Amino acid sequence: MPVPLVPEISLHLAHESVPLWQKTEEELGEIGLPPPFWAFAWAGGQALARYVMDHPDVVRGKRVIDLASGSGLVGIAAMKVGAKTVLAADIDAFSAAAIAINA
């Protein structure tokens, strides 16, 4: 689905955020896994991705690290506008799968 503030980028995201969040809070919390931050395009990430898309010179030709990348939105924006390389890093192992699908 297109990201609201960055419609140039489409991500595979959760459609029903509240039920997913509640279910994972209950079940994943029991086994010590974090909530699914990778399943949403958070406002801060959308704003940063929008900035990168509107100001490509900040990343063009440069190496970029997208920390706490979640769905990979900011890293994807950086690649779209010409970053030399992007490393998307997150502590959640499921985030890596989400980033691979979204990229």
Domain boundaries of the chain, sorted by first residue: 2-102
Q: What is the mean pLDDT of the chain?
A: 88
Q: 10: part of which helix (H) or strand (E)?
A: strand 6-10
Tell me the pLDDT tens digit for each residue of 54-98.
999 999 999 999 999 999 999 999 999 999 999 999 998 889 999
Using the predicted structure, report yes or no on whether residue 33 has a pLDDT greater than 80: no
Q: How far apart are CA 51 and CA 67, in angstroms?
A: 16
Q: So what's the pLDDT on residue 102?
A: 94
Put simply, whether the predicted model's pTM sits higher than 0.85 gets the answer no
Q: How far apart are CA 65 and CA 12, in angstroms?
A: 21
> Shortest CA distance to 35 belongs to which of 67, 11, 74, 70?
70
